[in-house]
């Protein structure tokens, strides 16, 4: 009986979730300016907001700037209170629902397709931190000056969307869109003031580092000294060693790590290699470490 009830609830939830495309926004919203099915700018208010009736997921990206009033929005099951001078970013397939809003709530919305984003020439070291930041926290607090600048660019984009200058209209719109992106990037950097700016390789490494079970750090200086293996042992480690090693091995590892704390990388490697040459297997190595207590 409970299983049937849960199935019914899941079916009802799936039916209540609506996928919204750029073309659908063009048809259903008022005060709309658009570029084929790639971009649309519209205004949202308490009376004209489809997400207040049911949950939606946008087939593309969207940026909303709250101009007045207040709204409580659910994004991927997390609830956010959005007020003026806030920018909200929606990733593709984010589940969005307006829980409630004040009668005077009003915002600007810029929605754009994935293919449009792919046409924008933005360096990955700039775009990736923004994508990561809004993936973790979709709401960004900005100043009145920030809102004024972004709003002016939105108006310029809207003007060009309605323009009859066909030949270079796409290029102009892409340039204006890029300007909006860099303004948001600048705001994000300002929010992280004092942190060292990372290059693209560092950003990618830090993002994927958290998914690994083992971290092996190589040392160029060891390699230049012809010390092999050129591994920085104190900085290298394996997660949850307690699940991989028995009690004696874990005790030996802890003894070694304490001894290596503060030791130079080349000294640590040379000492371990020397011990390896004096033992035939792991058990002998462990016994040697326990007897030396250490080094």
Nearest partner of 58 among 122, 1, 109, judged by Cα: 109
Query: In the structure encoding, which two tokens stand for residue 289, read together?
Result: 């470490």
Q: Is residue 82 within 8 Å of residue 46, measured between CB atoms?
A: no
Residues of the chain by 3-state class (helix, strand, coil), percent to 5: 50, 20, 30
Q: Which residue has the tokens 């290596």?
A: 260
Each domain of the chain, given as residue ranges in start order, spans 11-196, 214-292
In the prediction, which pLDDT does 6 show? 44
For the stretch 12-23, what's the b/e string if a residue is b when 16 or more beta carbons lie within 10 angstroms of its beta carbon? eeeeeeeebebe
**What pLDDT score does 83 carry?**
93
Q: What is the DSSP letter of 110?
A: E
Q: By the 8 A CB rule, do 71 and 82 touch?
A: yes
Three-state DSSP class for 33?
strand
pLDDT tens-digit readout, 1-30: 444 444 444 444 444 667 877 788 777 777
101, 50 in Cβ contact below 8 A?
no
Q: 11-196 in CATH: which number?
A: 2.60.120.280
Q: How far apart are CA 115 and CA 69, in angstroms?
A: 33
Q: Provide the 3-class DSSP secondary structure of residue 79.
A: strand
Q: What gap in Å lies between CA 106 and CA 49, rounded to an integer?
A: 10
| Interior/surface letters 80-90, b for 16+ CB within 10 angstroms, e for the rest | eebebebbbbb
- pLDDT at site 8: 43
Cβ 150 vs Cβ 108: under 8 Å: no
pLDDT tens over the chain, length 295 residues? 444 444 444 444 444 667 877 788 777 777 788 888 888 888 888 776 655 667 888 888 888 898 899 999 998 888 999 999 899 998 887 888 888 889 899 888 888 888 888 777 776 666 777 777 787 889 988 898 988 888 888 888 888 888 888 788 888 888 888 888 888 888 888 876 655 555 545 555 555 555 566 777 788 887 777 777 778 877 787 877 777 788 888 888 888 888 777 777 778 788 888 888 888 888 888 888 877 654 4
What separation in angstroms does the CA of 116 have from each of 61, 103, 113, 135, 171? 10, 34, 5, 19, 12
State the DSSP H helix or E strand holding residue 43, giving kind and residue range, or none if neither.
Answer: strand 39-45
Contact in structure between 213 and 239 (CB atoms under 8 Å): yes
Cβ 29 vs Cβ 49: under 8 Å: no
Answer yes or no: pTM beyond 0.85. Answer: no
In degrees and rounded to multiples of 5, residue 277 shows phi and psi of -70, -20
Angle, to 10 degrees, between the axis of helix 124-136 and the axis of helix 169-191? 60
- Provide the mean pLDDT of the chain: 78
4 Rama sector, left if φ>0, alpha if ψ -120 to 50, beta otherwise: alpha
């Amino acid at each position: 009986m409970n299983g049937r009830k849960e199935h019914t609830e899941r079916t009802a939830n799936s039916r209540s979730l609506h996928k919204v495309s750029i073309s659908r926004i063009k048809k259903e919203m008022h005060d709309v300016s658009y570029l084929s099915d790639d971009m649309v700018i519209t205004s949202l208010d308490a009376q004209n907001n489809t997400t207040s009736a049911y949950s939606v997921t946008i087939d593309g990206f969207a940026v909303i700037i709250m101009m007045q009033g207040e709204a409580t929005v659910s994004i991927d099951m997390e609830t956010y209170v959005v007020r003026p001078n806030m920018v909200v970013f929606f990733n593709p397939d984010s589940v969005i629902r307006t829980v409630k809003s004040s009668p005077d709530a009003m915002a600007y919305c810029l929605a754009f397709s994935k293919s449009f984003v792919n046409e924008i020439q933005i360096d990955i070291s700039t775009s990736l931190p923004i994508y990561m930041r809004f993936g973790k926290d979709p709401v960004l607090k900005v100043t009145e000056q920030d809102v004024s600048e972004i709003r002016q660019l939105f108006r310029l984009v809207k003007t060009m969307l309605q323009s009859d200058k066909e030949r270079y209209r796409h290029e102009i719109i892409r340039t204006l869109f890029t300007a909006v992106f860099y303004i948001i990037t600048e705001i994000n950097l300002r929010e992280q003031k004092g942190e060292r700016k990372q290059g693209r390789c560092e950003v990618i490494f830090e993002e994927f580092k958290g998914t690994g079970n083992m971290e092996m750090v190589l040392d160029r200086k060891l390699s230049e000294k012809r010390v092999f293996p050129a591994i920085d042992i104190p900085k290298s480690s394996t997660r949850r060693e307690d699940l991989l090693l028995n009690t004696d091995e874990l005790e030996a590892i802890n003894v070694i790590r304490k001894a290596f704390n503060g030791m130079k990388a080349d000294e640590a490697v040379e000492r371990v290699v020397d011990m390896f040459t004096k033992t035939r297997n792991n058990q002998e190595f462990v016994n040697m470490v326990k007897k030396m207590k250490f080094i």
